[in-house]
């Protein structure tokens, strides 16, 4: 079975493969075992499986693989431009880290903020950590905001879209290295389909349905 790897991962995978081959050749047993395990982990981290994206009017899919850790009402968010319901998804180092657009529309804003590197599950992470936000607006004026939030280990947020780009539901738009959190902001009257503790997959599981 073919394993798809996101291109951003090859800068880590190729040097590790070369180094692993060298230490195996010179029979450094313990080091070769350690490097082999690390190489397997990095390949797993940057895996990019194909997903069959759900279709349907008003459906908002998960932007990431992970576990729902918090659902809260947010008042007058600056980037979103009003009140919203926020669903926070924690990604462990074992989850797929490619992020997907949860809804179709045009990218109205891309906002990057430098910040700290608190643990991604910390309540303060969504306010204080380094993060990148994209605001998607549909033809009907519906708004969906997604925030990529760096965690304790994560030190690099990658975003492949820019303001003015048109995105389809499920489109790959970025990733976070290594371990992270993704917050998604939806209209307050959204019919939510998840609860705290749910494990979800990007592009596959439905977060909610816009009314």
| Catalytic residue annotation | 180
Place of tokens 């705290």: 196
E strands within 47-81?
Answer: 59-61, 66-77
C-alpha–C-alpha distance, residues 29 and 111, integer Å? 47
Residues 6+ apart with CB under 8 A from 142: 103, 105, 187, 210
- CA atoms within 13 A of residue 31's CA, in its CB half-sphere: 12
For residue 37, what are the contacts with CB-CB under 8 A and spacing of at least 6?
A: none
Q: What angle do CA 62, 1, 206 make, to 5 degrees?
A: 15
């Amino acid at each position: 079975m073919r394993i798809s790897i996101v291109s951003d991962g090859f800068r880590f995978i190729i040097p590790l493969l070369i180094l692993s081959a060298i230490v195996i050749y010179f029979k450094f047993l313990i080091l070769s075992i350690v490097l082999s395990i690390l190489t397997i982990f990095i390949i797993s981290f940057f895996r990019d499986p194909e997903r069959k994206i759900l279709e349907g009017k008003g459906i908002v899919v998960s932007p990431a693989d992970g576990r729902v850790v918090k659902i809260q009402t947010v008042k007058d968010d600056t980037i979103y431009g009003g009140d919203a319901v926020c669903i926070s998804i924690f990604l462990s180092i074992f989850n797929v880290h490619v992020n997907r657009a949860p809804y179709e529309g045009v990218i109205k804003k891309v906002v990057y903020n430098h910040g700290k590197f608190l643990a991604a599950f910390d309540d303060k992470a969504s306010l204080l950590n380094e993060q990148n936000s994209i605001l998607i607006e549909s033809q009907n004026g519906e708004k969906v905001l997604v925030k990529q939030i760096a965690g304790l280990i994560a030190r690099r947020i990658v975003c492949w879209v820019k303001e003015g780009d048109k995105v389809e539901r499920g489109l790959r738009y970025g990733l976070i290295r290594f371990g992270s959190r993704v917050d998604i902001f939806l209209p307050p009257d959204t019919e939510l389909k998840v609860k705290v503790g749910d494990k979800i997959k990007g592009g596959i599981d439905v977060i909610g349905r816009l009314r």
